[in-house]
């Protein structure tokens, strides 16, 4: 790795000239590299995307771009072991790396495959059929979708340095829109590693991808009407950028994926001996410990029938006690470290606030984890015990407002489906919810009540558990995003995400001219 991260701009790697800020290994605190503390001149960056990247991409068709995504997926797949080694330094275990690295590459395959099968070999995507607007049928309307001609600026969060980039890049690329990627500073070295491979592959048209490893000041000021801005990060960052005068004035498309107090519900039909009980507890512990809980979709609020809270707490503790916390590279570590000391301090602070409304069932944020790997350094690494809390009163606002972005979940008792629906809604909009129940009527009632507040809801029972992708997995086929606090965005969901980078236009005229326009799709 270079001493300081370069940006990939205008078709070349550009090293910064300032000293920059040191980025450290999550588990040891050792310096890895540095990242510039200065902004770039963003006008030429966006200009290159619009004048070189966009035209080069639009010289290809949907089908042509889909084929490149597949080839790129293959190229990157061959390098997964190397990416995984770098990923370990972010605090992610090898198993965690599969979610970020393999999961991100999988998004390339899904969009490559869907694009190849479902999109035309042109740059015109018909949206519905010709509809006559007069009795004679000489005049009517058809809708088409065509690539927007601006840049897709993508600002990503620290927790998924690969998946976060590729799940945005793939739909933009398929649409024919060039990406300008700004990774979060803390883990930008992993994004940079993967972008180097993408560039080296020689598969990408000039200008299709640029990487910004620098401060973002002045970036959104360059947005214009055909550009788009997709932000993943905290609610605060999303709100700041959504209301930024330059963003508002530009007319650029804006979308955000922000934080979320995701719910997981154990159905009232489930007893300790039912298979659903184990499915629920296992899912809860997985969500707490995978990526050390640093997943936007992780379970934060675990709703359990009041009479079952003791049983769920006991079963979860029995599993948590077996979770070895330790160096991500160590094969025996079930949970690695948080990304850095700042994240650990933030999580500790959030847990302290949650503890005003909840008792601690497992874990102490200040102490060495119960099952800590020998030789790991608790002071130098950003390690934290998994922490399970239990609400004293389900109505306390802390439970529904505070996101501890780490291995932290709270058990919350509920008494009825109506109360449950009201409590879930107090998250004010979430990315994901899950229900573990064998009672389809209960599931339907809760899903319909919770749907307006969620981008994705997963229902699992004994029959589907074996094939379930799990509560937290944002698969490319399913919508990822959520209303309200979750940012109001809608990423992935198959080809729905591609449409964000296309303009829908109603073309009115006679059937022949409309056929000629849409004919670009043949
Ligand atoms: P963050 O502090 O909000 O930062 C997110 C990104 O925004 C980073 O790249 C950051 O750059 C950049 N940024 C911050 N202020 C900016 C500004 N004024 N102009 C332009 N860019 C700006 O979030 P984070 O700590 O990286 O991630 C954790 C949060 O993200 C959690 O709340 C989590 O729930 C949420 N998250 C949501 C999703 C989702 O899909 N909904 C996924 C992952 C994470 P620097 O890093 O360089 O400061």
pLDDT computed for residue 493 by the predictor = 87
406 is a domain residue? yes
pLDDT computed for residue 1 by the predictor = 77
Instruction: Give the residue-averaged pLDDT of 107-118.
Output: 97
pLDDT computed for residue 59 by the predictor = 97
pLDDT tens string 64-105: 999 999 999 999 999 999 999 999 999 999 999 999 999 999
C-alpha distances out from residue 396 to 352, 359, 423, 453, Å: 14, 13, 10, 19
Q: Are residues 221 and 233 in the same domain?
A: yes
Distance CA(420)–CA(131), nearest Å, equals 45
Strands (E), 177-250: 179-182, 209-211, 228-232
Q: Are residues 502 and 399 in the same domain?
A: no
pLDDT computed for residue 430 by the predictor = 97
Residue 277 pLDDT exceeds 90 = yes
pLDDT computed for residue 228 by the predictor = 97
Instruction: Give the residue-averaged pLDDT of 478-504.
Output: 93
Residue 452 pLDDT exceeds 90 = yes
pLDDT computed for residue 2 by the predictor = 82
184 is a domain residue? yes
pLDDT computed for residue 420 by the predictor = 97
- Do residues 387 and 366 touch, judged by C-beta distance below 8 A? no
484 is a domain residue? no
**Residue 213 annotated among the catalytic residues of the structure:** no
- Please choose from 184, 255, 490 the residue to mutate so as to test ligand 1's pocket, defined by most ligand atoms within 8 A of CB: 184
Q: Which atom of ligand 1 is nearest to the CA of 237?
A: 3
pLDDT computed for residue 123 by the predictor = 96
Query: What is the C-alpha radius of gyration for the chain, rounded to an integer number of angstroms?
Result: 24
CATH number at residue 37: 3.40.605.10
Q: Are residues 272 and 201 in the same domain?
A: no
Please give the distance, rounded to the nearest whole angstrom, from the Cα atom of residue 314 to the centre of ligand 1.
Answer: 35
Instruction: Give the residue-averaged pLDDT of 415-435.
Output: 97
Please give the distance, rounded to the nearest whole angstrom, from the Cα atom of residue 231 to the centre of ligand 1.
Answer: 7
pLDDT computed for residue 28 by the predictor = 95
424 is a domain residue? yes
Q: Are residues 43 and 161 in the same domain?
A: yes
CATH number at residue 472: 3.40.309.10
Please give the distance, rounded to the nearest whole angstrom, from the Cα atom of residue 159 to the centre of ligand 1.
Answer: 9
Q: Are residues 45 and 184 in the same domain?
A: yes
Instruction: Give the residue-averaged pLDDT of 55-70.
Output: 98
pLDDT tens string 313-347: 999 999 999 999 999 999 999 999 999 999 999 99
14 is a domain residue? yes
Q: Which atom of ligand 1 is nearest to the CA of 486?
A: 41
Q: Which of 167, 213, 287, 296 is catalytic?
A: 296
Instruction: Give the residue-averaged pLDDT of 226-249.
Output: 95
pLDDT computed for residue 222 by the predictor = 97
- pLDDT averaged over every residue in the chain: 96
pLDDT computed for residue 332 by the predictor = 92
Q: Are residues 67 and 189 in the same domain?
A: yes
Q: Are residues 102 and 169 in the same domain?
A: yes
pLDDT computed for residue 514 by the predictor = 94
Instruction: Give the residue-averaged pLDDT of 12-31.
Output: 96
Q: Are residues 213 and 293 in the same domain?
A: no
Q: Are residues 176 and 313 in the same domain?
A: no
Q: Are residues 332 and 456 in the same domain?
A: yes
Residue 287 pLDDT exceeds 60 = yes
Closest C-alpha to ligand 1, atom 5: 233
C-alpha distances out from residue 274 to 262, 303, 422, Å: 24, 17, 27
Please give the distance, rounded to the nearest whole angstrom, from the Cα atom of residue 183 to the centre of ligand 1.
Answer: 9
Number of domains in the chain: 2
Residue 519: pLDDT band with limits 50, 70, 90: confident
- Do residues 270 and 277 touch, judged by C-beta distance below 8 A? yes
Query: Tokens standing for 177?
Result: 């829109």
Show the domain range for 144: 7-259+491-519
Closest C-alpha to ligand 1, atom 11: 184
Please give the distance, rounded to the nearest whole angstrom, from the Cα atom of residue 453 to the centre of ligand 1.
Answer: 22
In this structure, the residues whose C-beta lies within 6 A of any atom of ligand 1 are 155-160, 182, 184-185, 216, 232-234, 237, 240-241, 257-260, 296, 403, 405, 431, 487
Residue 239 pLDDT exceeds 90 = yes
**Residue 331 annotated among the catalytic residues of the structure:** no
Please give the distance, rounded to the nearest whole angstrom, from the Cα atom of residue 237 to the centre of ligand 1.
Answer: 6
Burial track 316-325 (b if 16+ CB lie within 10 A, e otherwise): bbebbeebbb
Q: Which atom of ligand 1 is nearest to the CA of 431?
A: 41
486 is a domain residue? no
Closest C-alpha to ligand 1, atom 10: 184
Residue 360 pLDDT exceeds 70 = yes
- Do residues 130 and 140 touch, judged by C-beta distance below 8 A? yes
Q: Are residues 228 and 328 in the same domain?
A: no
Closest C-alpha to ligand 1, atom 43: 296
Is the pTM for the entire model greater than 0.85?
Answer: yes
Q: Are residues 242 and 309 in the same domain?
A: no
Residue 486 pLDDT exceeds 80 = yes
Residue 475 pLDDT exceeds 70 = yes
1 is a domain residue? no
180 is a domain residue? yes
pLDDT computed for residue 375 by the predictor = 85
Instruction: Give the residue-averaged pLDDT of 440-467.
Output: 97
Closest C-alpha to ligand 1, atom 39: 257
Q: Which atom of ligand 1 is nearest to the CA of 160?
A: 43
Query: Tokens standing for 382?
Result: 């950003």
> How far is C-alpha 140 from the chain's CA centre?
41
Closest C-alpha to ligand 1, atom 30: 233
């Amino acid at each position: 790795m270079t001493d300081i991260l370069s940006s990939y701009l205008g078709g070349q790697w550009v090293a910064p000239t300032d000293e920059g800020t040191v980025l450290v290994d999550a588990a040891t605190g050792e310096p890895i590299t540095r990242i510039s503390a200065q902004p770039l001149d963003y006008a030429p960056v966006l200009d290159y995307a619009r004048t070189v990247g966009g035209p080069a991409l639009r010289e290809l068709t949907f089908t042509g771009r889909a084929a490149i995504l597949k080839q790129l997926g293959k190229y990157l797949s061959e390098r997964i072991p190397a990416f995984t080694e770098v990923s370990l330094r972010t605090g992610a275990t090898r198993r965690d790396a599969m979610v970020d690295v393999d999961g991100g590459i999988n998004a390339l395959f899904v969009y490559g495959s869907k694009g190849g099968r479902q999109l035309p070999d042109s740059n015109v995507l018909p949206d519905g059929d010709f509809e006559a607007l007069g009795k004679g049928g000489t005049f009517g309307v058809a809708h088409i979708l065509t690539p927007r001609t601006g840049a897709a600026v993508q600002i990503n969060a620290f927790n998924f340095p690969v998946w976060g980039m590729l799940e945005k890049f793939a739909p933009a690329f398929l649409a024919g829109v060039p990406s300008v990627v700004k990774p979060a500073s803390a883990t930008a070295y992993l994004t940079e590693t993967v972008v180097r491979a993408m560039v080296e592959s020689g598969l990408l048209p000039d200008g299709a991808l640029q990487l910004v490893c620098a401060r973002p000041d002045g970036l959104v000021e360059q947005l214009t009407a055909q550009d788009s801005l997709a932000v993943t990060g905290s609610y605060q960052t999303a709100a700041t950028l959504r209301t930024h005068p330059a963003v508002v004035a530009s007319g650029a498309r804006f979308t955000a994926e922000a934080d979320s107090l995701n719910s997981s519900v154990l159905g009232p039909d489930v007893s300790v001996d039912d298979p659903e009980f184990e499915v629920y507890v296992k899912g809860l512990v997985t969500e707490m410990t995978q990526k050390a809980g640093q997943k936007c979709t992780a379970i934060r609020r675990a709703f359990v029938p009041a009479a079952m809270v003791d049983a769920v707490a006991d079963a979860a503790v029995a599993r948590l006690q077996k979770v070895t916390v330790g160096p991500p590279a160590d094969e025996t570590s079930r949970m690695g470290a948080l990304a850095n000391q700042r994240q650990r301090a933030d999580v500790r602070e959030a847990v302290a606030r949650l503890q005003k409304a909840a008792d601690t069932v497992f874990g102490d944020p200040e102490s060495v984890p119960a099952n800590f790997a020998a030789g790991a350094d608790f002071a130098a690494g950003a390690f934290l015990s998994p922490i399970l809390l239990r609400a004293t009163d389900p109505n306390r606002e802390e439970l529904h407002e505070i996101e501890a972005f780490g291995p932290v979940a709270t058990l919350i008792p509920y008494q009825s489906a109506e109360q449950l629906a009201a409590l879930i809604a107090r998250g004010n909009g979430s990315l994901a919810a899950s229900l573990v129940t064998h009672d389809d009527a209960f599931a339907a009632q809760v899903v319909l009540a919770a749907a307006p507040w969620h981008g994705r809801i997963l229902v699992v029972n004994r029959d589907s558990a074996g094939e379930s992708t799990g509560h937290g997995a944002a698969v490319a086929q399913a919508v990822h995003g959520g209303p309200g606090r979750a940012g109001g965005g809608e990423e992935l969901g198959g080809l729905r995400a591609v449409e964000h980078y296309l303009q829908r236009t109603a073309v009115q005229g006679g059937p022949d001219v409309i056929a000629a326009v849409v004919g670009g799709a043949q």
